A and B are shown apart, each in its own frame.
Chain A
Amino acid sequence: MDKRRVYMDHAATTYTNKEVLAEMLPFFTDYFGNPSSVHQFGREVKKSVDVAREQVANALGALPEEIYFTAGGSEADNWAIKGIANSYKNKGNHIITTKIEHHAVLHTCEQLEKEGFEVTYLPVDEFGMVSLADVSTAITDKTILISIKYANNEIGTIQPISEIGKIAKGKGIYFHTYAVQAVCNLNINVHEQNIDLLSLSAHKFYGPKGIGALYIRKGIKISNLIHGGAQERRRRAGTENVPGIIGLGKAISIATMNMESHNDKLIKMRNKLINTILEKIPYTRLNGHPIKRLPGNTSFCFEFIEGESLLLSLDMKGIAGSSGSACTSGSLEPSHVLLAIGLTHEIAHGSLRLSLGEINNEEDIDYVLEVLPEIVDRLRSMSPLYEKVKGGKQ
C-alpha cells in the first residue's frame, strides 16, 4: 500500500507550528505561575500574557484591551451572541444571521429563540453570498445584533464584511463575525471594517487547540458567559490557559507576517486543483464562490457518489479530506451550507472538501489529481445512479 500521506483538511484543524510550540513549552515548566498572583512567578507570566494580547490585537487592528481569551471559537461565539442578547434585550429581541453559519452560531441562536428572541436566518445565493439588500431589509427597530461569518469553512466563500459593517453601524446595531477561517488568511481591521465583535481560534492558523479569543469593541456592554474569578478584566473567569495564550499570540503574529507568501502559494495550488478536477472529472461542480474564496479552500460535488465512500477511498490512498454528506455529518441530513446554496440532497451527499495549508506542495496536488479521478470512476461504476445516466434514462 502507498505510504504517502497528504493532509488536506486544514479547515478542520492545522498542526501546531514548531516555532509556536517552542515558544509555549517553557510556560508549562519554567514559567508556570498564575498570572493573577502578586509574586514574581505570577508577574513574569502576566507580562507574557499581555504581550500575546498585543499580538492578537495587532493582527486585527484592535486595541489590546479589546481582546479576551477564550477556550476557542465556539465559546467566543456563545459569549458574543448570548452576551449581547442578554445585555440589550430591553432595546430589542431581534437577531440577524445567515443560513450558512457555524453550528456554534446557529445552535446559540436557536437556543435564544426558545428564550423569546426572534432570529432571521438570511438566505445566500448559489455561491454562498449574502445579499446586502437582504441584510438591510431584515433590520427592524428591534434588531440588536447581526452575526455573519467572515468566510465559510465548508465552501470558502468570503462575505462583504466591510459593507455589512457599514450597514450595521449606520443603524446602530452591533455586528459580530465568526472569523476563524479568515484570521491570518485575509486582511482584517476591525475598526476600519466596523466590526464590533469577532471570534477566532488558534488551531486554524498553526496554533494550539483549545484557545481562542473574542474581540469586543471598547465600550460595548456585554454580560459574562463564564462566571467566577476576576480574570480577563472581570469578563471571563477561569485561570488563564497560559501556554495556549502564548501559542495563540505567537501563531497569529507569524501567520500575519507570512500571510502574503502563504496565500500566494495556496492560491496557486488551489486554482490548479480546482481547474484540473473540473476539467478531468465529468458531472462535477465547484461549491462556493469562484473568486471570492479562501486561499486554501476547494469544495466539490461529484454526482452519483456519496461523500463518505469518497473519503474512505482517499484515506486508503493516504489523502485526508472532509465531506458534508449526511454520513459524515453524524445526522441524516447533508450539510446545511450545501443545501443553502441550492444543492439537492442527492448532489450534496457527494461533496468533498480539500483544504490546503503550509505543508502541502505541488507534488501533493499532482498526487491527488492522479488518484481522485480513479476513485470517482470506481465509485461511479458501482452506483445505480450513474448507470441510469449512462443508459440515457435520466
Chain B
Amino acid sequence: MYSEKVMDHFSNPRNVGEIENADGIGEVGNAHCGDIMKIYLKVENDIIEDVKFKTFGCGAAVATSSMATELVKGKSIDEALEVTNKAVVEALDGLPPAKLHCSVLAEEAIKAAIEDYKKNQKNK
C-alpha cells in the first residue's frame, strides 16, 4: 500500500524532535481527525537553518512530515513557501489516494510555521 520511500521515512523519520527557542512554530490538524503536525523552524538570514517536527498520525502523516522537513531545510523562506503538497508526494514516490490529505497537512504545517516566523519578526 505504501511505497518504499514512505516506509523508509516512516521507520526512520528525518528531523524528528523540537527546537528550543524556535523562530517559528506551526501546528495544524486536530486529534479528532487523527492527524496533528507540529513544525519548528530555526531561521537565520532568511534561510531555514534547522527544522524539526512532531506528528500524531498514520504512517503517511509521519512520512509526509519527514519529507516536508527535508524539502525545506536549507531553503530560503520564499523557496520554502513554494514547496507544495504535490512536491512532497512526488518525493515520496506517491501516496495512496486516501492519504493525499496528509501531504496537504504537511504543506500547511510548513506554511503555518513560516507565518508564525514572519509574525514574530514583525513583533521584534
A-side residues, CB < 8 A to B, are 304-309, 312-313, 316, 325-327, 330, 332, 334, 344-346, 349, 381-385, 387
Contact = CB atoms under 8 A, between A and B. Distances in A.
Contact of A330 (B36, B62, B98): B98
A325 B34 contact: yes
B31 A309 contact: no
Contact of B31 (A382, A385, A387): A385
Contact of B54 (A308, A312, A344, A384): A384
Among A312, A330, A334, A344, residue most surrounded by chain B Cβ atoms (within 10 Å): A312
B61 A306 contact: yes
Interface stretch (B8-16, B41-49, B70-78, B116-124): B8-16
B58 A345 contact: no
A288 to B, nearest CB: 21
B18 interface: yes
B55 A384 contact: yes
B34 to A, nearest CB: 4
Given A345-B31, A345-B33, A349-B31, A309 B18 contact: no
14 contacts: A304-B56, A305-B56, A306-B35, A312-B2, A312-B7, A312-B59, A316-B11, A325-B34, A327-B60, A330-B98, A332-B33, A346-B34, A382-B55, A383-B56
Among B2, B11, B31, B98, residue most surrounded by chain A Cβ atoms (within 10 Å): B31
Among B34, B61, B99, residue most surrounded by chain A Cβ atoms (within 10 Å): B34
A346 B59 contact: no
Nearest to A334: B34
B38 interface: yes
A75 B16 CA distance: 47
Contact of B57 (A309, A332, A381): A309
B59 A349 contact: no
B26 to A, nearest CB: 11
What are the nearest 5 A-B pairs in CB distance? A346-B31, A308-B58, A327-B58, A384-B38, A384-B54
B27 interface: yes
A381 B2 CA distance: 23
B13 A382 contact: yes
Given A306-B56, A309-B61, A384-B54, 6 more contacts: A309-B58, A326-B34, A327-B59, A349-B31, A382-B56, A384-B55
Nearest to A326: B34
Contacts of B33: 326, 332, 345
Contacts of B59: 308-309, 312, 327
A383 B35 CA distance: 10
Contacts of A313: 11
A102 B21 CA distance: 50
A326 B98 CA distance: 11
A382 B11 contact: no
